């Protein structure tokens, strides 16, 4: 396995952990809503958005082992997720925060956009393209 492939595996592992944390945060927020704890739900959705908003910046050290073009493509993809989350936070829109990661036609049980992106990264390695 090449050094570039190992670097991809490293960032993919980190992203999967970040994704898991984000989904756990969202699940706790939804549990709060079901229990009638609206402030808890709102705080959880804000925390979800903050995790995503900071993701691109926090991923940078993990991208260092990638060759230039791959590093750029991974960074662009992650920045797109983070930018959407920053917009949701700036607008203070709970609806937008709750919809982060999901396409308009998302059905329960379908993978979210971040998990799909991570799997593409894992499969395509340094050939991954953000678009």
- Per-residue pLDDT of 42-63, as tens digits, reads 999 999 999 999 999 999 999 9
User: Distance between CA 17 and CA 13 in Å, rounded?
Assistant: 6
The full set of domain ranges for the chain reads: 3-123
Cα–Cα distances in angstroms (integers) from residue 104 to residues 21, 51, 62, 66, 87, in the given order: 23, 21, 31, 32, 17
Is residue 99 within 8 A of residue 45, CB to CB? The reply is: no
pTM of the model: 0.95
The predicted model gives 96-110 an average pLDDT of 93
> What letter does residue 67 receive in the DSSP assignment?
-
């Amino acid at each position: 396995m090449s050094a570039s492939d190992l670097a991809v595996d490293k960032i993919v592992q980190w992203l999967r952990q970040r994704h898991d944390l984000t989904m756990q945060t969202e699940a706790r927020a939804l549990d709060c809503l079901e229990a009638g704890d609206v402030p808890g739900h709102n705080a959880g959705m804000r925390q979800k958005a903050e995790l995503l908003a900071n993701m691109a910046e926090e991923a940078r050290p993990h991208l260092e082992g990638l060759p230039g073009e791959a590093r750029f493509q991974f960074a662009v993809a992650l920045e797109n997720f983070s930018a959407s989350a920053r917009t949701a936070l700036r607008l203070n829109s709970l609806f937008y925060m709750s919809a982060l990661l999901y396409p308009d036609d998302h059905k329960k049980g379908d993978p979210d956009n971040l998990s799909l992106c991570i799997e593409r990264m894992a499969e395509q390695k340094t050939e991954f393209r953000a678009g």
